Every structure is written in C-alpha cells, then in structure tokens.
Structure 1
Amino acid sequence: MSTGEKLIQMVIAIALFFAIVAAILLLTQRFRSRRGELVQAAGFVLPATILIALGLLYPAIKTIYLSFRDSYSTKFVGLDNYKTIFTSKAELTVLGNTAMWVIITPIAATLIGLVYAVLVDHARMERLAKALIFLPMAISLVGASIIWKFVYDPRIGLLDAITGKVGLGSDHVWYANPSAHPWNNIWLIVILIWVQTGFAMTVLSAAIKAIPTDIVEAARLDGVGGFKMFRYITVPSIRPTVVVVLTTITITTLKAFDIIQTISAGGAYHTSVLAYEFYFQAFKAFNSGLSAALAVLIFVLVLPIVIYNVRQMRKADAR
C-alpha cells in the first residue's frame, strides 16, 4: 500500500468519525430535558460500548467457552484442559518457568532501578546516567534479544570473552544447555531485567524527587543519613510507587513472548513460559482447547494484580 493510499484512508476515517458525531448531535439536539441529555449521552457512549463488547467482551467469553472444548472445539471436555495444565509434566515445567520469571524479574528490576535512582539523585551527570540506564527501554524486546544473543554467543560473545580473561574458561553454552534447566531461564530473565530496569528507575526517580523537602531536612537534622535515610524515609515515602512498578513489571513478565521466540528457538531447552505456550498450542499444535485454557489462566493471574494496582492508586489519590 502506497503512502497516498494510506493518506486517503486516514482522511476517510477522520471524515467518518466527524460524520458520526454530527449525526448523533443532529438526532439528539431536539432533546432539551434531563431525559434528552441522557439520550444524547447514550448516543455517544453506545457506539464505544458496542465496540468494547465486540473487541473485548465477546473474545473473552469465546475464549472461556473454548477452554472447555477439545482440541478441535467439537466436543465438551469439561475441566480436562485445565487438568492437563496442572498435571502434564511439560505444562508443569512451563508453570515453573513462569513462576521463576514472575518472582525474579519484577523484584530484581525494581530493586536495581531503585538503588540506581537513589545513587544518581542530584549527581553531577544525573541526566546522562539516567539516559544510559533508560536506553534499553527504547529497544524492542526482539532487538534486545538479538543483542543478548550475540553477548551469549560462545564464539564471539562478550560474556565468553570476559570469563576467558578472568580465568573461568570460554565456549560456555549459556542458555541452550539441556542439563542446566534453571540457568537456561535465568539467562533469558536477565534480558527482561535489563530492559525493565530503565522503566523502574525512571518512575521511582520521579517519586523520590516528589518527596517533600521538609521531611528530608527534618530527618537530616535528627542525624539520619546514608542507608537509614534510604530505609526509613525514602522507601516508606515512595511505597505506593514501588507497588505500581512491581505490579506493572509483573504483568509485563506474564506476557513475555518475544524473548522466548527470538533467542531460545521457541521455548527449547525447557524455557517456555505461559504466554509462549499459549501461542505454541494455538498456532503450531492447533490445540484450541488447551490454548484457550492457557489464555484464561494468564487472565486469572493478571486480574488480581490489576485490581490491587487500581485500589492502591485510588488510596493514593484519596490521600
């Protein structure tokens, strides 16, 4: 599709939007009462509600329905797909890998980002230091995976060069070792931590700068400094932000797919996680029932985190 065709489509879409708004206004302008205002409001809300129902609600219901069907969606199998997830050796490995990702990634990325934000706060080259740690956020996960694939390469990789220089040998198989199941995942987790640390640092740095100066000055007058300042003043003051960062990175981790697909040849060497397993079952194994059950499980795991996050933000706004 040429640039001119794209421009024409954009103009048509904008014109269509204004035409719909104008039609709603013309149809509802005669209503001047309270009931008329409700009709006018419904005229604007109803199209969006219909689109949300078609784009979100219907697919969610359809996915839940398919999770109770067999691989070809022809027969009702009850909870068999969910039973497979929690009893099959392969699926239990996927669950274990996902748990490892969800535990290590948010904690490590948030902790590194927090410590870094504190160390560079009010430093001479603060902007440059923050830009360097934030730079990986500008790279897609596919791009980051390719970069680290070269880092882990046993022949030309930077990591092997470092281990060789310090006397730890070379030609290591970092993430493709069939006998090193946990470590295969950890080397992949490092990539996501590298990317997400910049996000954590940016948000937490803004929260640190928002701490009232009178609190900090009062603590310093009382002789609080160094690690005690960090533990008793900084961390309690930014606790809601820390929770938001942790939950946001956790949700991102639960959806991890790009790294697995790019660097580990599609979950090889016991590195598959829920998001990739859902893709594999749906589009490679063509098992629609199990893939739908995996999608529902991801939704169930993410939902409490989202609810908790919303409640924390409401509490912060209420203060």
Structure 2
Amino acid sequence: MDNFIDWGPKLFNALLVVAVFGAVIGLLLIVVDRAPKRGHDRYQLALFLLPAVFMLTVGLLIPAVRTTVLSFTNAAGDFVGFDNYGWLFSEDEALTTIRNTVIWVVLTPILSTGVGLIYAILINEARTEALSKSLVFMPMAISFVGAGIIWKFMYAYRGGGSDQIGLINQIIVWFGGEPKQLLLDPPVNTLLLLVVMVWIQAGFAMVVLSAAIKGIPTDIIEAARIDGVNAWSMFWKVTLPSIRASVIVVLSTITIAVLKVFDIVRTMTGGNFDTSVIANEMYTQAFRFREPGRGAALAVFLFVLVIPLVVYQIRILRQREETR
C-alpha cells in the first residue's frame, strides 16, 4: 500500500504529461485544419515545426548560451575572463586530456573504418553473409557501459600467482610472460581503451560500407575484370574510389562519436592513470572538483570541435543526394 502511495504522484505526473502532449497535438491539428486555404502549406509547416523549435530552444540553445557564460566564471560564480581557457591549454592535467582526445580522434575512426571495410569485403563474398554481419554488428547493440565492463574483465589482472580471469593476461601467461595491470600504464592504457571503441564501431562501418560496395554498378566491375585487373588493383582503383563518399561519412560519424566518448573511460578507469578525455574531464571538473567553470570551458571546446565535423558531414550528404 505504501509503495502505491509513493508511486501515485509519479504516475499522475506521467499521465499529465501524456495528456498535455495529446492536447497540444490536437490543438495543432485543429488550427492547421482551420487555417486559410491560401498559404495552407506554409501554415501547416510552421505550426508543426513550432514544438520542435521550442524544444530545441529550451533543450539546446539556452543551455549552450548558459554553458558559454558559465565558462567565464569561477567556482564562486565570479567573472574571471579567459582564466578557465588558460587552464585548459596550460595545465599538465588538461593538456594530457587534450592529448588523449587527439589520440582517440586520430586512431579510432581510421582503425574502425579500416576494420569495417575489411569485414565488408570479406563478408560480402561469404556464404554465411547474414550470420556473419549479425555477429560483427552485435557490439553496436551493447551500451558503452556494458562494453566497458566486458573489456574490463578482458584486461583483468590477478597477482600473487593466482589464476588469471582476464583473457589478455591469461594469453600472456600461456606464452610464459608475467601478467600485468594493463590499464595502469600510460599511454598503453589509452590505446587499450581505444580498442573497445573500435570493437563497437567496426560493425557500424561494416554495414554502411558493405551497402556501398554492393551499390557499385556491375558494369564497372565487369569492365575492370575484362581488363585483367587483379584483386588488389580492383580494391584501390575501383572499389575504394566508388565508395569514397560513404567512407568519408563513416569517418566523420565515428569521429563525432569519439569526441563525445565518456562511458568507456568512466567505466574502465574513471579517467585515472592519464586516460581522461574531454567529455570525462568535463564531468570530473564540474561534479567531482566543483569547478563548473572549467567543466563549461571543456564543454565549449568540445562543441567547437564538433561543429566543423557536423557541417562537413551535412555537406557530404547533400552532395550524395545531388549526384543521385
């Protein structure tokens, strides 16, 4: 009975939200239906865009402006100018975070796309194509936190002659080596965390690139084979140029995901041992060290890094649409 009483207000609030949403949609439909016939399409477009614009303003635009303002203040809320940005580009801790982020951004998209492309080429020729693609894509269905926990067990260490539960250390023992605490030694630990992201994103790259490869006109492939092109030349001179736009989209999409990576680092190392990245350090500064200004400066810096990639990706997608 007490549980029902506790859940009563929450259930009421949920039903109230659903009712308000239904009322707003119903009101929009009535207004659109009664709009003047002249310019009806414009009224319809404006009214249906209004809720989305409102939500974007409340959920994105206003927080972005507040975060930018906050980045110029200290923990007490006093204006400090560009001090937080000075800390970002001068302190060893912040510079290590930027260095790690650069490593992630440079290596992860290239490795993920390369592995995904290899998978796509090999699996497209396999008899068990559907099953193979499902297995490769499966990590994409796992949350970053779940993937981090799985790989934390993979890298697990036990000392004192105990049996190893981590696969990597067990392999080292099988070959006569000594087990190591793999996630403690920089910069190797950053590379080991990076492997988790590659494992996840390779499935996404494989699906997109596999579809692009299958979309290559058969007459181009047949003409190349008639000319006696071998498999290696076929890849470099026919396949890769034909799927160039898809490769760029995959690279930019994975790069954006990498810039925002948080869960893997937080789950596996907590950002310790020189493994922190911008998104993780943003959380650490704002909520652990009680320095919201520094956290906001990191957030603004991350936002600035993401914008050119988003613009470039939109431009590539538009070019693809225009060429169809």
- What amino acid is aligned across from residue 127 of structure 1 in structure 2? A
Write the distance in 1 (CA, Å) between the matches of 2:40 and 2:126.
Answer: 59
**Residue of structure 1 equivalent to 2:232:** 227
Secondary structure of 2:127's counterpart equals: coil
Write the distance in 1 (CA, Å) between the matches of 2:264 and 2:35.
Answer: 55
**Residue of structure 2 equivalent to 1:71:** 75
Segment of structure 1 superposing worse, 83-92 or 12-21:
12-21
Q: Is the 8 A contact 1:97 1:272 kept in 2?
A: yes
**Residue of structure 1 equivalent to 2:135:** 132
Q: Provide Cα deviations, 1:160-203, integer angstroms capped at 9, x if missing partner.
A: 12122233x031121113xxx11010111111111111111111
| Structure 1 residue 81: Cα displacement | 0.7
Write the distance in 2 (CA, Å) between the matches of 1:15 and 1:248.
Answer: 37
Write the distance in 1 (CA, Å) between the matches of 2:8 and 2:134.
Answer: 37
- RMSD of the TM alignment (CA)? 2.3
Write the distance in 2 (CA, Å) between the matches of 1:30 and 1:148.
Answer: 58
Segment of structure 1 superposing worse, 250-259 or 20-29:
20-29
Structure 1 pair 190–25 and aligned structure 2 pair: CA distance change class (3 A):
closer
**Mind listing any 5+ residue stretches in structure 1 that lack a counterpart?**
none
Structure 1 pair 28–250 and aligned structure 2 pair: CA distance change class (3 A):
closer
**Residue of structure 2 equivalent to 1:109:** 112
Structure 1 pair 88–165 and aligned structure 2 pair: CA distance change class (3 A):
same
Write the distance in 1 (CA, Å) between the matches of 2:54 and 2:102.
Answer: 36
**Residue of structure 1 equivalent to 2:169:** 160
- What amino acid is aligned across from residue 303 of structure 1 in structure 2? I
Structure 1 pair 228–34 and aligned structure 2 pair: CA distance change class (3 A):
same
| Structure 1 residue 158: Cα displacement | 0.9
Aligned residues: 313
Structure 1 pair 165–28 and aligned structure 2 pair: CA distance change class (3 A):
closer
Secondary structure of 2:272's counterpart equals: coil
**Structural mapping, 1:1-20, within 5 Å:** 13-20=17-24
1:145 aligns with 2:153: no
Q: Is the 8 A contact 1:31 1:37 kept in 2?
A: no
1:170 aligns with 2:178: yes
Secondary structure of 2:321's counterpart equals: helix
**Residue of structure 2 equivalent to 1:306:** 310
1:279 aligns with 2:283: yes
- What amino acid is aligned across from residue 304 of structure 2 in structure 1? V
- What amino acid is aligned across from residue 123 of structure 1 in structure 2? A
1:186 aligns with 2:191: yes
Structure 1 pair 214–300 and aligned structure 2 pair: CA distance change class (3 A):
same
Q: Provide Cα deviations, 1:56-104, integer angstroms capped at 9, x if missing partner.
A: 110011111111111232x111111111100111100000011011111
1:248 aligns with 2:257: no
**Mind listing any 5+ residue stretches in structure 2 that lack a counterpart?**
158-163
Structure 1 pair 248–36 and aligned structure 2 pair: CA distance change class (3 A):
closer
Query: What TM-score does the superposition give when structure 2 sets the normalisation length?
Result: 0.90
Q: Is the 8 A contact 2:137 2:203 kept in 1?
A: yes
- What amino acid is aligned across from residue 311 of structure 1 in structure 2? R
- What amino acid is aligned across from residue 150 of structure 1 in structure 2? F
| Structure 1 residue 38: Cα displacement | 4.5
| Structure 1 residue 262: Cα displacement | 0.9
Secondary structure of 1:34's counterpart equals: coil
Write the distance in 2 (CA, Å) between the matches of 1:6 and 1:84.
Answer: 43
Q: Provide Cα deviations, 1:216-254, integer angstroms capped at 9, x if missing partner.
A: 111111111311111111111111110111111111111
Query: What TM-score does the superposition give when structure 1 sets the normalisation length?
Result: 0.91
Q: Is the 8 A contact 2:113 2:247 kept in 1?
A: yes
Write the distance in 1 (CA, Å) between the matches of 2:193 and 2:34.
Answer: 62
Of 285, 288, 292, which aligns to 2:292?
A: 288
**Residue of structure 1 equivalent to 2:161:** none
| Percent identity (aligned) | 48
| Structure 1 residue 29: Cα displacement | 5.0
Q: Is the 8 A contact 1:161 1:170 kept in 2?
A: no
| Structure 1 residue 43: Cα displacement | 3.4
| Structure 1 residue 16: Cα displacement | 3.3
**Residue of structure 1 equivalent to 2:89:** 86
